Structure 1
Amino acid sequence: MTTAELAEFLALHLWAVLFAITSLMLLFAWMLWSGLQRYGSPMATLLRTWVARIGPHAQRLPLPSAVHGMWQMARQLGIQVLVSVAIAVTACLGFVEIADEIAVDEDLGQFDVALSAGLSRHASDEQLRIFAVLTDLGDKGFLIPLAGCIGLYLMFRRRWFLAITWIVATATGALMNTALKAIFERARPQWLHDFASADGWSFPSGHSSGAFIVYGLLGYLAVIHSPQRFHLPIAIMAMALIVCVGFSRVILQVHYFSDVLGGYAFGAAWVAAWIAGLEAYRRRPGAIPA
């Protein structure tokens, strides 16, 4: 199947494709969460055992003092911080790979154009109307007041550190996305309907990265302050919102598919980096629970 044929198939079977993608992502989230709940503690115990065994041997190796310092820091930070850092680095690398493939002569760039053209032919007014509503959940006119309300709530609860972190993380994330758009200067696709409007550069998608940052960090805060039985529903809800907002931008043809992927990659890196910092802060000696 050629790139154009694949794009045409996806555009023609829009609802089935969206249902399949969303179901697979939610299934992956459930499997990952179940695996962490079932095997997370044993794996962490096993890792700590390996670190304890390897540590004395590593100390005797003729390594620079900085390496030994990093080893000790990794032991103190814990598995949660290390996993978050690994996710942030992986997402950054993914963003670089996506950005390298958006040119019109690259396969991903050609798929972008073909999918946008296919959607312009096959997306019905009813579909566009539905996704025009969903896309507002990632609009700055919705996310900024939501982020402000969350910040005020945290201040009201006297969670000063979390409130400042939340405001800085969401605000600087938006500024970083704007800076990235100015760096890449990618033009938007042409859309031939009045269900949505957009201006400015296209890559990475601000709606996608904004939804990932706000809903991702909000989901994290909800998880660490709620009973365990609510953790999976919170994660699923956050992921569903992120998926709906991102794909709405493609279906409305105001962003290319790779714009959304780039927004997701940047948002994932940003959220993972801030979660790593928050987890390190929560686990410092004598820390007061956040």
Structure 2
Amino acid sequence: MKRPHRVHGIQTWPWLGGWAGAHAGLLLVLVVLHRDVRLSGTLCSWTEGGASRVRLLETLTTWGNPWPVTLLAAGSVCVALTRRDFTAAAVLLTVPYAASVSCNLIKEWAGRQRPALACVSTHADGFSFPSGHAVGVTTGFLLAALYVSGHLPRLLSTALLATALLGAEAVAWSRVLLGAHFSADVLAGQLLGAGWLTVAVLLLSRRPPPSPRGRAGPGAPRSAVEAVP
């Protein structure tokens, strides 16, 4: 029998399920009430007449570009390799890539055009739904944080998870504020990323234990998603 997945007492499934449920609920409200365009325009108008706001958001949104997300995934892979946790390394590398590919396929299928609002302050190519930035940071930031935080002291692991969660939200919603996406695009991207994050957690929970040479000792903290007999 396996215990719940934890990060020093923090259970993975409850907060992940709650986070995904809240975003799914907001998406449902926007779709049913037809408030997507209105909310997107309201958020986007916040940048009008504020060059400093636009510069700040443009800097923030770059963290969701392919290279930063790839480097973050590579860093978590290096942590797994130093622990001789080869299965985890493979999951940490392939899941963000698979999430990106699935996002591009859905974009081509949906074919939703980018917002044409007066407040648009940044140009983005391709289709709009779902947001690739939202998928990338949700899968990349949170997956790396979940794995790495399991090898840190409790205070640092909690801080890392909170920072990753807030950072992912900020980067994802910067796309709406800049006028590059509608709100529904971002919410759908976050949910798609959460789906792939769930796949990663399931794969990691079923992997064989790392090589004993990869452990710091019997008292070393366990990964957030390491299966415990």
Which category describes the TM-score, using the shorter chain as reference length?
0.7 to 0.9
Distance 1:168 1:100, change over 3 A: farther
SS at match of 1:79: coil
Task: Name the counterpart of 1:207.
Answer: 133
Q: Residue type matched to 1:174 in 2?
A: S
User: Corresponding residue for 2:183?
Assistant: 257
Query: Using a 3 Å threshold, how does the CA distance of structure 1 residues 161 and 205 change in structure 2: closer, same or farther?
Result: same
Structure 2 residue corresponding to 1:143, chosen from 51, 65, 69: 69
Paired AA for residue 137 in structure 1:
W
Secondary structure of 1:254's aligned partner: coil
CA distance in 1, matches of 2:183, 2:142: 20
Three-state SS of the structure 1 residue aligned to 2:179 is: coil
The structure whose residues are more often helix, as a share, is 1
Q: Measure the CA separation in 2 of the matches of 1:87 and 1:272.
A: 8
- 2:148 corresponds to: 222
1:210 partner amino acid: G
CA RMSD between the two structures: 3.5
> How far is 1:130 from its partner?
0.9
Q: Does 1:80 align with 2:11?
A: no
Deviations 1:173-205 (A, max 9, x none): 111111222222221102557853211121111
Matches within 5 A, 1:136-215: 136-152=62-78, 154-155=80-81, 158-192=84-118, 195-215=121-141
Segments of structure 1 that go 5 or more residues without pairing to the other structure are: 1-75
TM-score normalized with structure 1 length: 0.60
Name 1:49's counterpart in structure 2: none
User: What is the one-letter code of the residue matched to 1:155?
Assistant: L
Structure 1 counterpart of 2:40, which letter?
S
Secondary structure in 2 matching 1:175: helix
Q: CA deviation at 1:152?
A: 4.4
- Provide the TM-score with structure 2 as the length reference: 0.74
Larger RCO, structures 1/2 (Cα 8 Å, 6+ apart): 2
Q: Does the CA contact (< 8 Å) of 1:219 and 1:238 recur in 2?
A: yes
Give the C-alpha shift of residue 119 in structure 1: 4.2
Which of 23, 35, 38 is 1:111 aligned to?
35
Contact 1:213 1:268 in 2 (8 A): yes
CA distance in structure 2 between the partners assigned to 1:154 and 1:83 by the alignment: 19
Kindly provide the amino acid, as one letter, of the partner of residue 143 in structure 1.
V
Q: For residue 86 of structure 1, report the CA deviation from its aligned partner.
A: 10
Q: How many residues align?
A: 208
Whole-angstrom CA distance in 1 between matches of 2:44 and 2:26? 27
Compared with structure 1, are the counterparts of its residues 195 and 141 closer, same or farther at alpha carbon in structure 2 (3 Å cutoff)? Answer: farther
**2 CA distance for matches of 1:211 and 1:229?**
23
Asked whether the 8 Å contact 2:87–2:207 carries over to 1, the reply is no
* 1:122 Cα offset (Å): 4.2
Query: 1: CA distance between counterparts of 2:51 and 2:15?
Result: 42
Relative distance call for 1:86 and 1:151 in structure 2 (3 A) is closer
CA–CA separation in structure 2 for the residues paired with 1:130 and 1:204: 23
The 3 A distance-change label for structure 1 pair 194 and 260 is closer
Indicate the SS of the match to 2:206: helix
